[in-house]
């Protein structure tokens, strides 16, 4: 049977539409159902049931015997990470979202290349959108030195909107780093001005490092399709301190609600205070309701976000549009003034602290691959709270009158941009 040209055009058009619909669906339509009903307040974070719920609902379990050291700003963070890389004897696994061409990224490239030439097995995973230098000399240098380097979802159209936002560095399977810092010059310094971003990262030792390694391997197997295992990657880990910790991960392909569930369950369990410092604070309706209900229970809720020094004005508009309802219910909102505030930290009742890569937005809740370290320890929470309060002292409170007195153009911009918050 002869096929007419018109039939071929129809078949081609149908195939193109099907492919486009598939790509759109996989990138912009969530495949899993979203938690819609509020989580009831049944217990506080001091109740043993809270720890059991976090271990069982989120997984992996909360582990004893860890030591977590907070590092603040690039001036402290980068030297500690580079020293750890230099100390590696057997393996290095490193995953990051931001890798921007500059002096800092070159320092990391040189350190990782040097260890690879010494025979250390070095595995690096960089996000395809977060990296602005895919053809840079630093990446070529690493590959030529023997570093196994993968770019996450750079050529997969069906997953182009799904990014790895995780920040993980594990040395010999024994020493880990995680937090919010990107590998870029913008993070260098001590948050003294606009060119020195404010951020925190955490040096981790103890049994929870194995969970950090597992979070890295989750995405390594998706890209390199190789399982890294054995004593070089998962050695026996002795107890190093008194911190009880959990490193949980989330992604749109499995456990996409983990970050959202952790934040909401934590807020719902608060009885005294909620402190949230976050670079991209665009809460959805359920999370907004959880914050308001906490305030109605008498919980002191304080939100710290970037001020005018922010790298995404779209996020700033969408975030500000959500503040009115929070402010009307007595929730405090502060804008950090000196520089871009890039921290991701939540402290509940001066006991439960969660830090890592997850932002307070739908992209972290539903679209990105994230990894957060949660610590249940009064001393650690007390120190984190003191640092939070120190940042508050360098911030400006944004009150309800400020929100209501915005000019018409600003109100319109905030509202219009907020309509796209599912992708922010």
Query: Is residue 120 situated within a structural domain?
Result: yes
Structure-token match 């939100």, residue found:
303
Q: Are strands 300-306 and 332-336 parallel, antiparallel or unpaired?
A: parallel
Q: ω before 151 within 30° of 0 (cis)?
A: no
Q: Where are the beta strands (DSSP E) in 46-199?
A: 63-72, 91-96, 121-127, 148-152, 168-171, 175-179
- Phi then psi dihedrals of residue 352, to 5 deg: -105, 120
Catalytic residue among 101, 127, 172, 350: 172
> What is the model's pLDDT at position 153?
72
* Residue 368 structure tokens: 């990105």
Is 344 assigned a catalytic role?
yes
Measure the CA–CA gap between 22 and 26, rounded to whole angstroms. 6
Helix (H, G, I), strand (E, B) or coil at 63: strand
Locate the DSSP E strands across 208-263: 243-250
User: Has 342 been annotated as catalytic?
Assistant: yes
pLDDT at 354: 97
Choosing from 284, 344, 377, 391, the catalytic residue is 344
Backbone angles phi, psi at 88, to 5 degrees: -60, 135
Asked if 231 is an active-site residue, the reply is no
Q: Which residues, at least 6 apart from 322, have a Cβ–Cβ distance to it below 8 Å?
A: 281, 282, 283, 288, 418
**Count of structural domains within the chain:** 1
- Domain membership flag for residue 127: yes
Is 15 domain-assigned?
Answer: no
Catalytic residue among 72, 342, 361, 414: 342
Rounded distance between C-alpha atoms, residue 30 and residue 44, angstroms: 31
CA distance 156 to 143: 21
Evaluate whether residue 335 is within a structural domain: yes
Question: Tokens 């990782």 map to which residue?
Answer: 112
Which residues are registered as beta bridge partners of 346? 276, 354
Q: Strand, coil or helix: what is 287? A: helix
| Residue 43 within any structural domain of the chain | no
Q: Residue 19 and residue 29: Cα distance in Å, rounded? A: 15
2 is catalytic: no
24 lies in some domain: no
Exposed/middle/buried for residue 298 (C-beta within 10 Å: 0-12, 13-18, 19+): exposed
Q: Which domain holds residue 106?
A: 48-423
Structure tokens at 389: 């309060």
Q: Helix 313-328 to helix 408-418 angle, to the nearest 10 degrees?
A: 100
8 inside domain: no
Choosing from 349, 369, 391, 414, the catalytic residue is 349
Q: According to the model, what pLDDT value does residue 361 have?
A: 79
Is 383 one of the catalytic residues? no
Residue 67 annotated as catalytic: no
Query: pLDDT tens per residue, the chain (424 residues)?
Result: 555 555 445 444 444 444 443 344 444 444 445 667 788 999 999 999 999 999 988 879 999 999 999 999 999 999 999 999 999 999 999 999 999 999 999 999 999 999 999 999 999 999 988 888 777 888 999 999 999 999 997 655 555 667 888 999 999 999 999 999 999 999 999 999 999 999 999 999 999 999 999 999 999 998 898 999 999 999 999 999 999 999 988 877 665 567 888 999 999 999 999 999 999 999 999 999 999 999 999 999 999 999 999 988 899 999 999 999 999 999 999 999 999 999 999 999 999 999 999 888 787 777 788 999 999 999 999 999 999 999 999 999 999 999 999 999 998 998 988 888 766 5
- Return the closest-CA partner of residue 66 out of 423, 419, 374, 394: 374
**Eight-state DSSP code of residue 38:** P
Strands 121-127, 91-96: pairing kind: parallel
- Residue 360, domain CATH: 3.30.870.10
Determine, yes or no, domain membership for 239: yes
Q: From CA 93, how far away is CA 228, in angstroms rounded? A: 10
Cα–Cα distance between 396 and 137 in angstroms, integer?
A: 42
Q: Which of 234, 294, 239, 309 is nearest to 264 (CA)?
A: 294
Catalytic residue among 115, 123, 165, 201: 165
């Amino acid at each position: 049977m002869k096929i007419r040209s018109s039939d071929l055009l129809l078949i081609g058009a149908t195939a193109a539409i099907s492919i486009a619909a598939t790509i759109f669906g996989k990138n912009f339509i969530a495949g899993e159902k979203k938690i819609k009903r509020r989580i009831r307040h049944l217990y506080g974070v001091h109740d043993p049931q809270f720890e059991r719920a976090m271990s069982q609902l989120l997984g992996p379990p909360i582990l004893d015997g860890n030591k977590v050291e907070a590092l603040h700003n690039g001036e402290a963070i980068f030297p500690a990470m580079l020293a750890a890389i230099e100390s590696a004897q057997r393996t290095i696994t490193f995953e990051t979202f931001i890798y921007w061409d500059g002096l800092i990224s070159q320092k990391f490239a040189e350190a990782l290349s040097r260890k690879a030439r010494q025979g250390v097995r070095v595995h690096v995973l960089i996000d395809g959108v977060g990296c602005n230098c895919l053809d840079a000399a630093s990446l070529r240098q690493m590959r030529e030195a023997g570093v196994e380097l993968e770019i996450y979802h750079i050529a997969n159209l069906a997953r182009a909107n799904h990014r790895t936002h995780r920040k993980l560095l594990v040395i010999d399977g024994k020493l880990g780093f995680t937090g919010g810092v990107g590998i870029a010059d913008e993070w260098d310094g001590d948050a003294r001005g606009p060119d020195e971003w404010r951020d925190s990262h955490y040096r981790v030792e103890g049994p929870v490092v194995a969970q950090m390694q597992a979070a890295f391997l989750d995405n390594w197997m998706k890209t390199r399709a190789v399982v890294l295992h054995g004593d070089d990657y998962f050695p026996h880990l002795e107890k190093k301190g008194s911190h009880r910790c959990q490193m949980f991960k989330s992604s749109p392909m499995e456990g996409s609600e983990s970050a959202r569930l952790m934040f909401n369950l934590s807020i719902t369990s608060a009885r005294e205070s909620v402190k949230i410092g976050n670079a991209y604070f665009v809460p959805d309706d359920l999370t907004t309701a959880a914050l308001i209900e906490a305030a109605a229970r008498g919980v002191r809720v304080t939100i710290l976000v970037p001020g005018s020094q922010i790298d995404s004005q779209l996020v700033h508009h969408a975030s500000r549009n959500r503040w009115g309802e929070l402010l009307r219910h007595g929730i405090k909102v502060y804008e950090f003034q000196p520089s871009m505030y890039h921290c991701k930290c939540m402290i509940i009742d001066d006991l439960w602290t969660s830090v890592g890569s997850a932002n307070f937005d739908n992209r972290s809740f539903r679209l990105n691959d994230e990894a957060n370290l949660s610590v249940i320890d009064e001393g650690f929470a007390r120190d984190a709270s003191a640092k939070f309060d120190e940042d508050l002292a360098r911030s400006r409170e944004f009150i309800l009158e400020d929100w209501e007195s915005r000019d018409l153009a600003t109100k319109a911009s905030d509202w219009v941009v907020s309509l796209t918050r599912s992708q922010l």
